[in-house]
Amino acid sequence: MMHAYAGKVLRVDLTRQSIREEPLNPELARAFIGGRGLATKTFRDEVDPQTDPLAPENKLIVATGPLTGTAATCGGRFMVITKGALTGAIACSNAGGSFGPELKYAGYDMIVLEGAAAEPVILVVDDDAVELRSAGHLWGKNVHQTEDALHEELGRDFKCLSIGPAGERQVRFAAIMTDKHRAAGRSGVGAVMGSKNLKAVAVRGTGGVTVADPQGFRTACLDALEKLKAGEITGTGLPQLGTAILVNIINENGIFPVRNFQRAQFEPAQQISGETLAEQILVRARACVGCPIACGRVTAVENGPFRGRGEGPEYETIWAFGADVGVSDLGAVTKANYICNELGMDTISAGATIACAMELFETGALPEKEVGRQLRFGDAEVLVDMVTKMGHREGFGNVLAEGAARVAEKYGRPDLFMGAKKQEFPAYDPRGVFGMGLQYATSNRGGCHVRGYLIAPEILGVPEKADPHTLEGKAALDIAFQDLTAALDSSGVCLFITLEIGAPELLAMLKPATGFDYDMDEMMQAGERIWNLEKLFNLRAGFSKKDDTLPPRLLRDPMPAGPAKGKTVPLDEMLSEYYRLRGWDDEGRPGKKKLAALGL
C-alpha cells in the first residue's frame, strides 16, 4: 500500500473516448515526489518536444502531490502540466482551491488527458465511476456560468475545473479555472484544454488519504502551522492585506514596473495598494482548502462605472492592470480582474500584453486604424474594453490574444516585449533585483517569479537578507530556490509557506506522510532532477542559450530613477556561473555526468 498517494492514474483518450486506470509507480513517485515532478516525468516520456502545443498529440496532465488533501499545512495545491500554448516550452501551472484534494479523495493522483474530442465534452469523475459527457450546452458559457450549471446538473459537492471563452478560442494565455476564481494561469494551459474540446472536469470523491506515520505527521504539521501563524508575513501581513500588501513595499524599493518597464516607481501606487483595497472594496478573506493564511480576497466594487463582485485582484494582477498600463483606478483594475476570471485568462499576460501594445501605439509602431481607437497608457476604460475583446478574440483583441511577444514582433518592435521565452514578466523590474533577473532568464516555463522567488531574500529578507544589487552568490541562491520550489510544487503544498518556513519543515512533513526515508540531500536532489528534466524537454523543443536572456531594455537601458537608478541587469556574469554550478556546459546543456548523477 502506498501512503499519501492515491496510487492510481486516470488516463483519458479524448479521441477514442476511452478511459482506463493505471497503478502509480512507487519508484518514480519517490524519485520525482509527485505533482509537478511525476507529471513532468510522465509527460517527457510520452510527448515529442517538437509537438505543436495545440495539436492532439500534446497531452494535458492534472496532478496532485503526496501532501495534497492531507492535513499538511497549505496542502491544497494541484498542477497542470503540458506544452505551453504561449511559450512552446514545458508548462506547469499551479492552483489551489478545493479541486486537488477532491481528486485525491476520488482515488487518483493524476489525470492524463490525451488526443482531442470531436465535439465539446466534460469529464465526470464520481469516485471510480468515470465518464465523458457532451458539453454542447456549456460551450460558450463563461467560467462562472459553467460551474453553476455543473453544480445544478451534478450536485454542489462536485469540484470543477473549467475553461471560459478564452480557452475555447485558444487565447494563447488562457487559464484553467477552479472554484470560479482560482487559476492555473500561466503559459496558456487553458488554450491546450480548449484545443482538446474539453470544457470541464468535475470530480467528487468520498475516500481519504492515509499517511505512514500519523503521529509523526501530526507533529510536523502542527510545528509548521505554529511557525506560519507566528510569522510576520504569513501570520499577519498576508491574512490582513493579502498579496496586495506588496504594492507599497515593491514600489518603495523602486522595482514596481511602470508603463511596460519604462520606469519602476508608480506615483499613485497607494491608490491601488492592499491598504486601499482593504478600505474600499474588501468583503472578506478567503482561504484554499487546508490553508491558515487566507490570502484570497472576496471583493465588491459598488460605485462608479466598473461595478462588480468577485475575488481579487492579487498583487500581480494589480500591477498588470495598474502600474504596467499606467492606470490608478482601483475599480478598473478590479473589473479587468473579474473579466479575466470569468473568461478564463491569465491576468499577468493579459495586462502586460496591453502594456506592450500601448507602448507600440505611443511610439507610432501600431497605427490607430489597426486598433480602431487610441490605445494610451492610463486609460482605464480602454483597459477594460481590451481585456474583454481579447478574451473573445474580437477586433484588435484577436491580435492581443496572441500575447505580447507575438504582438511586438508583428509591429516590428520585438524589443518592446518584456518577457522571456514568449512569456510576459510579472511585477518586478530586475534592474533592481539581480537575482530575480537571473531567475527570469533561466526559468523553464518562461518569464516567471514562482520558480524561484528571489524577492524573498532580496527584498523581504527571507530567510535572510541578500543585497539586491550585487552579483555575489546570486547563481547559487537561484539554484537553491529553484530546486526547493520544484520539490515543494511536487509535494502539493503552497509556495507561500516558504515566506516563513523552508526545506526542513517540508521534509519533516513528507517523510511521515509517504513513509519514504528521505533525507535533505535526497529531497533537494529530487528538485534538481525535476529542474533538469524540464530543461531537457525545452532543449529538445528547440530552446537554447539564446533564450536564457532578458529584453534589451533591462540589459542596456539604466534604471532612470529610484533606489536602482543607473542599474542594468549584469546577466552574462550570473548566467555563466549559474551554468557552471548546475553542471551544465557553456551553452546551458546538462552534461552526461550531471544527468547520470540524477538518474536521467
Determine the pLDDT at residue 374: 96
C-alpha radius of gyration, the chain, whole number: 22
Q: Which residues, in sequence order, are bridge partners of residue 62? A: 80, 111
561-577 mean pLDDT:
97
For residue range 87-126, what is the model confidence (pLDDT) as tens digits?
999 999 999 999 999 999 999 999 999 999 999 999 999 9
For residue range 192-222, what is the model confidence (pLDDT) as tens digits?
999 999 999 999 999 999 999 999 999 999 9
| pLDDT reading at 290 higher than 90 | no
Q: What angle do CA 50, 52, 57 make, to 5 degrees?
A: 90
Residue 48 contacts residue 101 (beta carbons within 8 Å): no
414 burial via Cβ count (<10 Å: 0-12, 13-18, 19+):
middle
What's the mean pLDDT when you consider all of the chain? 97
Calpha distance 464→438 (Å, rounded):
19
Q: If we measure between CA atoms, which residue out of 172, 87, 175, 95 comes closest to residue 445?
A: 87
Calpha distance 335→71 (Å, rounded):
35
Which CA distances in Å does 28 have to 39, 40, 42, 380, 526? 10, 11, 10, 50, 10
**If you ran DSSP here, which 8-state letter would residue 345 be given?**
B
125-142 mean pLDDT:
98
- Other CB atoms closer than 10 Å to residue 52's CB: what's the count? 13
Calpha distance 297→484 (Å, rounded):
28
Identify the CATH class of 240-424.
mainly alpha
Determine the pLDDT at residue 1: 80
Q: What values do phi and psi take at 21, rounded to 5?
A: -110, 150
Q: What percent of the chain has pLDDT over 90?
A: 100
Query: Which sign does the torsion angle of CA 320, 343, 165, 388 carry?
Result: negative
| pLDDT reading at 307 higher than 90 | yes
pTM passes above 0.75: yes
Determine the pLDDT at residue 455: 96
Exposure b/e, 506-527, CB count within 10 A at least 16 = b: bbbbbbbbbbbebeeeebbbbb
Q: What percent of the chain has pLDDT over 70?
A: 100
Q: If we measure between CA atoms, which residue out of 408, 411, 415, 422 comes closest to residue 370?
A: 411
Determine the pLDDT at residue 423: 98
Determine the pLDDT at residue 441: 98
238-243 mean pLDDT:
95
273-282 mean pLDDT:
97
76-95 mean pLDDT:
97
Give residue limits of the domains in the chain.
8-204, 240-424, 430-499+519-597
324-342 mean pLDDT:
98
User: HSE of 304 in the Cβ direction (CA atoms, 13 Å)?
Assistant: 15
For residue range 485-521, what is the model confidence (pLDDT) as tens digits?
999 999 999 999 999 999 999 999 999 999 999 999 9
- Superfamily covering domain 8-204: Aldehyde ferredoxin oxidoreductase, N-terminal domain (3.60.9.10)
Calpha distance 300→283 (Å, rounded):
7
User: Which residue has 471563452 as its cell numbers?
Assistant: 165
Count of positions (residues) in the chain: 600
Which CA distances in Å does 93 have to 82, 162, 230, 386, 508? 9, 14, 29, 24, 25
Q: If we measure between CA atoms, which residue out of 318, 301, 302, 298 comes closest to residue 310?
A: 298
Residue 351 contacts residue 370 (beta carbons within 8 Å): no
| pLDDT reading at 415 higher than 90 | yes
Give the pLDDT band of residue 367 (cuts 50, 70, 90).
very high
Residue 536 contacts residue 44 (beta carbons within 8 Å): yes
Domain boundaries 430-499+519-597, corresponding CATH code:
1.10.599.10
Determine the pLDDT at residue 81: 98
Name 397's Cβ contacts closer than 8 Å, sequence gap at least 6.
386, 388, 389, 390, 391
Determine the pLDDT at residue 533: 98
Determine the pLDDT at residue 526: 98
Which CA distances in Å does 300 have to 278, 331, 341, 389? 11, 9, 14, 23
